[in-house]
């Protein structure tokens, strides 16, 4: 049984006693003639494995942490949770928030130059028409015979 010196977030909360669980008493099996010994031993094995792996909370009995151990674990868990918490992601905004001085100058600035406007309009028209001409050229079949004799 390993010695746990450090109490961290991975410390088991419930100490599972490493006791031998009672398998079904062999007396009942002894009375019946062993017709299928393999099946019976397999069933016993499954039962034994389940019994050892299942943590029977009800059968553990009264269990409590010492006050000091409890508060220390609370502290450890809170520290780990706080470290793992991510800051809320900033909302994506394309427009920057401008100071009032910049706003006044910006709103009063002259409009888009006609040459620039035509450049943008023509470029977008060409791009739109190019995108509309995207085609799929069919060369091979999509569905092929596979391992068909």
* Token pair for 2: 């390993």
Q: Give whichever of 80 and 103 is closer to other proteins, judged by the CB atom.
A: 103
* Residues within window 38-77 making contact with other proteins, judged by CB under 8 A: none
The C-alpha atoms of residue 37 and residue 78 are separated, in whole angstroms, by 54
93 interacts with other proteins by CB under 8 A: yes
Provide the phi-psi class of 91: left if phi over 0, else alpha when psi is between -120 and 50, else beta.
beta
Member of 13, 30, 96, 134 binding other proteins (CB under 8 A): 96
C-alpha distances in angstroms, 110 versus 105, 134, 145? 10, 39, 66
From the CB of 131, what's the least distance to other proteins, in Å?
11
Q: Which residues bind other proteins (CB under 8 A)?
A: 91-100, 102-104, 106-109, 111-112, 114-115, 117-118, 121-122, 125-126, 128-129
């Amino acid at each position: 049984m390993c010695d746990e010196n450090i109490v961290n977030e991975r410390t088991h909360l419930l100490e599972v006693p490493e006791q031998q669980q009672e398998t079904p008493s062999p007396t009942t099996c002894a009375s019946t003639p062993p017709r299928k010994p393999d099946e019976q031993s397999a069933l016993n094995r499954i039962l034994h494995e389940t019994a050892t792996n299942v943590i029977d909370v009800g059968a553990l009995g009264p269990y409590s942490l010492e006050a000091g151990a409890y508060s220390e674990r609370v502290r450890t868990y809170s520290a780990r949770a706080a470290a793992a918490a991510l800051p809320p992601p900033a909302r994506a905004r394309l427009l920057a928030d401008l100071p009032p001085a910049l706003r006044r100058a910006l709103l009063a600035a002259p409009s888009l130059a006609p040459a620039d406007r035509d450049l943008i309009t023509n470029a977008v028209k060409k791009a739109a028409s190019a995108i509309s001409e995207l085609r799929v050229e069919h060369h091979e079949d999509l569905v092929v015979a596979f391992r068909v004799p």
